[in-house]
Each structure stands twice: as structure tokens, then as C-alpha cells.
């Protein structure tokens, strides 16, 4: 039986084989087994090999396996050598085939894969910048931050690769940079950027703008109350687009299409204790407090629906893959499998349960691989 047609084979089939000599195992078979194994719960190359050997008879019905299942050393060597830039590009084009239109909030944030640190070689843990489409429930793209740079240089490069037309890009304070705002607007998207003390002049100007606003300044206002799990959270949002207030911001014109300033206070009551927090943002959106408060809350879906799931369901922070390009390439496989599982609507269950179902049910697993 030939390998079933799928968007994965179509988009990852052109990756260059990094091996110079012995190629006992076809590259696409190696990549496919790794993806299927991670879907079913494998977290490292040893477990990928064990998955392959336990499923060998079934895998041989659609994969080219002339010499059986590769060893865990072979999986490790291949993914250490695969060009991560090619792997990322294949991932991005694959996402485009399964998601024709990105809508709503697009959240950008970084995550460190903590156990990828190699102290014996003086290698720091890899830090990935991820782009998450909140409404689509998809990782759109990712890139590793090089040791001698930071997220500020990676974010614009990532955003330029994506069709963000009509979306709203949200980024934490590290992304509050004029070149990043410019890139977002050039991609025909709007922005909401958090402002903290890493931009001291801008931060102080915004704080003073709200504190010194006179009674006749128009502030759009919205309040939300959420109750659950023994706690109450009250959020209040004030937004202004007053020209006189914006003019109070030093060099505000360097921020492309800066339209509104945002102040959000959060109050949490739990177990008889109350905590309060005030945050500030700049945005290219009009002064609509309800929409902006919703957008800021939606940003944290990248933590809850992506980063938390990677740690809890995929045990990413515990993964000790460290050598060469393997940590980055394995992180991308986790993103790919998370996308597959998130897009599946045939099983009404969480990611952990879906991974178990995939391991138990060949038809379900193959359906994930061949999903449009």
C-alpha cells in the first residue's frame, strides 16, 4: 500500500536529506514515524523507536521501510542534522493549506524549552518565539532566538512570513518596538502592544496621561466580572483616542498609526485576599474599551492553549533533547501534532485523551495524518 496522500507529505516531502552517506531509511518515512509517534505520546527518540517497532506491521502498509524501523540513534542523528529553516518553512506552508484564513487575535510570545540546556557544552536552553492564532486554535509559525540576539529581532521576521490581513496582533512588553508596530501595519493588521518599564519614557507618559486627564477628556469604559473556582475577577478598561492626550506622548508619531492608549485594572478576590494590577497598552485600534479588553484577555490564550498544553500534555519542559538542531526540530513536531489534534473535531476530548485515542485506534491516527 502506498503512503496515503496528506498535506504533511506534500509539504514536508521536499526537505533536503542531510545525510551524506548511508540512507537505509527514507527521510519521509523517518519524519512520518516521528510525527505519528509524538501524536501518540512519544516524547523522545527512544520512545519514537518503540512506537515504530510496536506498530511496524501497520506502518509497513503505507510507509517505505526497506530495512525496518530506524533506531533511536538514527532518529536522533537525522533530526540533529535537518535544516531547521527548511523544517519551519515546510511547517508554515503546511499551516497555510489547513488554514486558508487567519482571523481575530494573533498572539506572539516566547517560550523557553528548559531542559534543552547543555551545561557540559555551555549551551543555553533554546528559546522559541511562537505565533498563535487564537480563534483558529493553531500555531502559525515559530523560530528559535539565537544566543546573541533576542525576541525583538525574531518577531518582525516571523510576522513578515504570514498573511495577517485584518487580524489583531497582540504582544507583551518586549514587542513594544516601533519597528515591530511598523511591520504589523505593513502586514495590514492592527496591534495591541503592552507597555511596561522597559520603555520608561513611554510608560511614564501614558501613566501621567491617564492620571492627569481632565474631566472633559473622553474615555471609553468597559467592566467585566468573572466568577469561578472560588475567585472573583473584576477587570476595568479605559481607552482614549483624544488628540491632545496622544500629543502628550513624547514622539508619539514614531509609532505607526498609534490611535489609542489603554489602561486596564484587574482585581482578584480569592480566599479572603485581594490583589490588584494595572497595565497599559498602545493600539492602532479606535477607542473601543470592550473590544480592547477582550483582545488583551485573548492574548493569554497563547499561554493557556499553547504553552501550558505543551508543558502539561507534551511534557516539553522536561524534554532533554539537546544536541544540534534536534531540540528546535522536535519542538516544531510538537507544534505540528498539537495543530493536528486541535483541528480534529471527531473526538470531544482534551489533547491528552486524543493522544491516547490515537495510540489505540489506527483509523483515528491515520485520519489525523491525512486530515485536510
Mark whether 114 and 250 lie in a shared domain: yes
Phi/psi-derived region of residue 371, left when phi > 0, alpha when psi is between -120 and 50, beta in every other case: beta
The pLDDT tens digits for 13-70 are 889 999 987 789 999 999 999 999 999 999 999 999 999 999 999 999 999 999 999 9
Predicted local distance difference test score (pLDDT) of residue 247: 81
Work out whether strand 190-195 and strand 168-171 pair parallel, antiparallel, or are unpaired: parallel
Mark whether 24 and 143 lie in a shared domain: no
How far apart (Å, rounded) are the C-alpha atoms in residues 50 and 53?
Answer: 5
Predicted local distance difference test score (pLDDT) of residue 328: 95
Short-list 364, 305, 358, CA closest to 335 = 305
How far apart (Å, rounded) are the C-alpha atoms in residues 128 and 106?
Answer: 16
Mark whether 205 and 337 lie in a shared domain: no
Predicted local distance difference test score (pLDDT) of residue 121: 65
Q: How many CA atoms lie within 13 A of 203 on its CB side?
A: 13
Grade residue 122 by pLDDT with cuts at 50, 70 and 90: low
Q: With a cut of 80, say whether residue 103 has pLDDT above it.
A: yes
The pLDDT tens digits for 209-224 are 888 876 777 889 999 9
Chain position carrying cell 481607552: 239
DSSP string, 61-109: TTS--TT-SPPHHHHHHHHHHS-HHHHHHHHHHHHHHH-S---SEEEEE
Average pLDDT over residues 137-159: 92
- Domain holding 147: CATH number? 3.30.2170
**How many domains, the chain?**
2
Work out whether strand 127-133 and strand 105-112 pair parallel, antiparallel, or are unpaired: antiparallel
Mark whether 147 and 252 lie in a shared domain: yes
Grade residue 239 by pLDDT with cuts at 50, 70 and 90: very high
Domain contains 104? yes
Phi/psi-derived region of residue 318, left when phi > 0, alpha when psi is between -120 and 50, beta in every other case: alpha
Which helix (H) or strand (E) covers residue 253, if one does?
Answer: none
Mark whether 28 and 155 lie in a shared domain: no
- Which phi and psi angles does 78 have, rounded to 5°? -65, -45
Q: With a cut of 60, say whether residue 132 has pLDDT above it.
A: yes
Task: For residue 326, give Cα distances in angstroms to 68, 75, 143, 152, 173.
Answer: 22, 9, 14, 24, 30
The pLDDT tens digits for 300-335 are 999 999 999 999 999 998 888 888 999 999 999 999
Grade residue 1 by pLDDT with cuts at 50, 70 and 90: very low
Domain contains 90? no
How far apart (Å, rounded) are the C-alpha atoms in residues 55 and 192?
Answer: 47
Mark whether 198 and 127 lie in a shared domain: yes
Domain contains 321? no
The pLDDT tens digits for 249-300 are 877 889 999 999 999 999 998 888 899 999 999 999 999 999 999 999 999 9
Q: With a cut of 60, say whether residue 5 has pLDDT above it.
A: no
Domain range for residue 18?
Answer: 7-83+329-369
Cell numbers given for 21: 552517506
Predicted local distance difference test score (pLDDT) of residue 67: 95
Mark whether 76 and 105 lie in a shared domain: no
Contact 162, 130 (CB under 8 A): no
DSSP string, 124-162: PPPEEEEEEETTTTEEEEEEEPPTT--HHHHHHHHHHTS
**Mean pLDDT of all residues in the chain?**
92
Domain contains 89? no
Domain contains 19? yes
Predicted local distance difference test score (pLDDT) of residue 291: 97
Domain contains 43? yes
Mark whether 171 and 209 lie in a shared domain: yes
Short-list 92, 97, 101, CA closest to 164 = 101
The pLDDT tens digits for 177-221 are 999 999 999 999 999 999 999 889 999 999 998 888 767 778 899
Contact 153, 168 (CB under 8 A): no
Q: With a cut of 70, say whether residue 123 has pLDDT above it.
A: yes
Cell numbers given for 372: 485536510
Mark whether 134 and 161 lie in a shared domain: yes
Cell numbers given for 117: 540546556
Q: With a cut of 70, say whether residue 243 has pLDDT above it.
A: yes
Average pLDDT over residues 69-82: 96
How far apart (Å, rounded) are the C-alpha atoms in residues 184 and 177?
Answer: 11
What single-letter DSSP state applies at residue 309? H
Amino acid at each position: 500500500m502506498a503512503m496515503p496522500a496528506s498535506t504533511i507529505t506534500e509539504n514536508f516531502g521536499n526537505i533536503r536529506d542531510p545525510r551524506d552517506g548511508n540512507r537505509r531509511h527514507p527521510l519521509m518515512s523517518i519524519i512520518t514515524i516521528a510525527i505519528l509517534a509524538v501524536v501518540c505520546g512519544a516524547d523522545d527518540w527512544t520512545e519514537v523507536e518503540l512506537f515504530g517497532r510496536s506498530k511496524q506491521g501497520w506502518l509497513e502498509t503505507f510507509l517505505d521501510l526497506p530495512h525496518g524501523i530506524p533506531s533511536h540513534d538514527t532518529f536522533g542523528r537525522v533530526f540533529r542534522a535537518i535544516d531547521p529553516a527548511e523544517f519551519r518553512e515546510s511547517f508554515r506552508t503546511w499551516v497555510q493549506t489547513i488554514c486558508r484564513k487567519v482571523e481575530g487575535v494573533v498572539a506572539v510570545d516566547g517560550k523557553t524549552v528548559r531542559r534543552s540546556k547543555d551545561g557540559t557544552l555551555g549551551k543555553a536552553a533554546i528559546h522559541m518565539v511562537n505565533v498563535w492564532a487564537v480563534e483558529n486554535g493553531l500555531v502559525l509559525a515559530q523560530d528559535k532566538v539565537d544566543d546573541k540576539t533576542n525576541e525583538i529581532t525574531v518577531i518582525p521576521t516571523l510576522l513578515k512570513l504570514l498573511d495577517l490581513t485584518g487580524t489583531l496582533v497582540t504582544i507583551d512588553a518586549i514587542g513594544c518596538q516601533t519597528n515591530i508596530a511598523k511591520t504589523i501595519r505593513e502586514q495590514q493588521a492592527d496591534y495591541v502592544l503592552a507597555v511596561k518599564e522597559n520603555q520608561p519614557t513611554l510608560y511614564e507618559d501614558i501613566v501621567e496621561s491617564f492620571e492627569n486627564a481632565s474631566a472633559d477628556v473622553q474615555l471609553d469604559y468597559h467592566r467585566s466580572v468573572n466568577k469561578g473556582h472560588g475567585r472573583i475577577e473584576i477587570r476595568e478598561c479605559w481607552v482614549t483616542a483624544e488628540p491632545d492626550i496622544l500629543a502628550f506622548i513624547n514622539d508619539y508619531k514614531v509609532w505607526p498609526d498609534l490611535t489609542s492608549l489603554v489602561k486596564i485594572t484587574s482585581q482578584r478576590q480569592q480566599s479572603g485576599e485581594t490583589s490588584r494590577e494595572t497595565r497599559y497598552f498602545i493600539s492602532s485600534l479606535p477607542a473601543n474599551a470592550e473590544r480592547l479588553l477582550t483582545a488583551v484577555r485573548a492574548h493569554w490564550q497563547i499561554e493557556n492553549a499553547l504553552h501550558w498544553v505543551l508543558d502539561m500534555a507534551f511534557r516539553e519542559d522536561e524534554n532533554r533533547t539537546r544536541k544540534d538542531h534536534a531540540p528546535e526540530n522536535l519542538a516544531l513536531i510538537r507544534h505540528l501534532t498539537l495543530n493536528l489534534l486541535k483541528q480534529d473535531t471527531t473526538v470531544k476530548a482534551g489533547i491528552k485523551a486524543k493522544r491516547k485515542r490515537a495510540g489505540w485506534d489506527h483509523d483515528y491516527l491515520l485520519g489525523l495524518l491525512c486530515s485536510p
